[in-house]
Amino acid sequence: MTQTLQSGTLTPQGYRPRLIECRLDALMNAFGCVEISGPKWCGKTWTSLSRSMSVTRLDDPAQREAAQMDPMLALIGDEPHLVDEWQEVPEVWDAARRRVDEAGNRRGMLLLTGSSSLSKEMREKVHHSGTGRIARLSMRPMSLFESGDSSGLVSLGSLLAGKPLVPASAHADLADVARWCCRGGWPANLGLSDDAAFETSVQYLRSVLDTNILEEGRSPRTALALMRALAANESQAVTYKTLQRDMTEGESAPDVLTIASYLELFDRLHLTEEIRGWEPPMRAKARVRVKPKRYFCDPSLAAALLGATPDRLLSDMQTLGLLFENLVIRDLLVFLSTFPGIDNRLFYYRDEKGLETDAVIESGGRWAAVEIKLSDTKADKAAENLKALRRKVLSNNVGKNPEPVFLAVVVGRGSLAYKRNDGVLVIPASLLGA
């Protein structure tokens, strides 16, 4: 039933450490069981194996069948024990909760990994929330720092703590940005040639369409049309009407309820990330009235859907800029996932007068704003935008909102991280880390 290693852990050969490990270790020391959820192929299993002494794989038909007969069978093995793709047998969740209870809430007993959230029907098979027994942790594809494309000399955590930016230098040009967007943050791409790495996102999409979409009883054709519509509107707060228009190609469009159900499915599969609009804390109710943006979990998926290659992107700066925005949003989310606490969140900002900011970070009761630009030659305009947002937030005397802990322009092409005379930071993505 299980694969077991008698000494050490099941760390795969060639495993590269991930930023999320610090949070995983902290949660394993505090809870009996930890669930790691995230996109397929983002490295959940390998990271979990690096902390495990045994494993049950529920994507294996024989092991899945045994767990369906008795979910407790999936939990047998030396501790820490990993149950990979636990959502294949939803009853394993309650079994894990019972196992922790029976062991007197012993810490670090079990790990669960899942590539999709439970559907409504599956949730009906789970009878306990797991509160106090099972901790939840989200994982994403690799950031540039994890893949070795960023030195990480500029720490987001340090900036959010109010520490000054230490100037640093690096070199990245637009050709590098185009490669990053097409290769993506997939661990399996490490060490591969560009041509081989570019195939990963195509195969990822085919796997989703041919397996996950069909298993959900949905149409791969409709799903692919909607994915392409999302890619065509990358990094935009797109409306259902726009998605309908971009899906049709001369045929009748799906209705709004159908589109909404597919978007919900994409979110459950961790294929997309929803980023909501931000208002200063004293006006938080306004957040629900601002249309969310949807980003792909990795920019390489949008690139594959658009048929983009590095060479083509270098002749289409607009598309490259939108994909680069997706990449930076991915990295910011990765970094935030490594911070303790419940209030580490990412938003975007747009007001009724057209003032926009790509990313607003909330962490530890503080906030910061980030503009994302392909080149440091665009820093002046981006800085003016950030300062306008700061003025608007601070002008609300009723809200008494605090100063931003920092304002920054994250750029693709750039060789220096520095603080401008107006206080706005300029940070190349190739220097940014957690």
pLDDT (average), residues 412-420? 96
Q: Which two tokens stand for residue 44?
A: 């959940």
Largest CA-CA distance found in the chain, in angstroms, rounded:
67
Sheet of 168-169: strand order equals 168-169, 416-419, 425-428, 406-413, 366-375, 356-363, 345-350
Q: Please report the pLDDT score of residue 5 as a whole number.
A: 41
Mean residue pLDDT of the chain comes to 92
Q: Which domains does the chain have, with CATH numbers?
A: 3-138 (3.40.50), 144-433 (no CATH)
pLDDT in tens, 370-391: 999 999 999 999 999 999 999 9
Q: Which two tokens stand for residue 303?
A: 């690139």
Q: Please report the pLDDT score of residue 122 as a whole number.
A: 65
Residue 283 has pLDDT above 60, yes or no: no
CA distance 170 to 433: 13
Nearest Cα to 18, choosing from 119, 160, 147? 147
CB count, 10 Å around CB of 232?
18
Q: Please report the pLDDT score of residue 130 as a whole number.
A: 74
pLDDT in tens, 348-368: 999 888 899 999 999 998 999
Query: Please, are residues 144 and 114 in contact by the beta-carbon 8 Å criterion?
Result: no
Indicate the pLDDT class of residue 127, thresholds 50, 70 and 90.
low
pLDDT (average), residues 113-127? 75
Residue 191 has pLDDT above 50, yes or no: yes
Q: Please report the pLDDT score of residue 240 as a whole number.
A: 92
Residue 2 has pLDDT above 50, yes or no: no
CA distance 193 to 210: 26
pLDDT in tens, 52-86: 999 999 999 999 999 999 999 999 999 999 999 99
For the chain, the straight-line distance linking the first and the last C-alpha, in angstroms and rounded, comes to: 38
Indicate the pLDDT class of residue 136, thresholds 50, 70 and 90.
very high
pLDDT in tens, 79-118: 999 999 999 999 999 999 999 999 998 999 999 999 887 6
Q: Which two tokens stand for residue 167?
A: 């100037």
Nearest Cα to 140, choosing from 266, 276, 36? 36
- Percentage of the chain beyond pLDDT 90 is 84
Residue 271 has pLDDT above 90, yes or no: yes
Length of the chain: 434
Give 379's contacts (C-beta < 8 A, 6+ positions apart). 373, 409, 411, 420, 424, 426
Query: Please, are residues 149 and 194 in contact by the beta-carbon 8 Å criterion?
Result: no
CA distance 425 to 428: 10
Residue 217 has pLDDT above 70, yes or no: yes
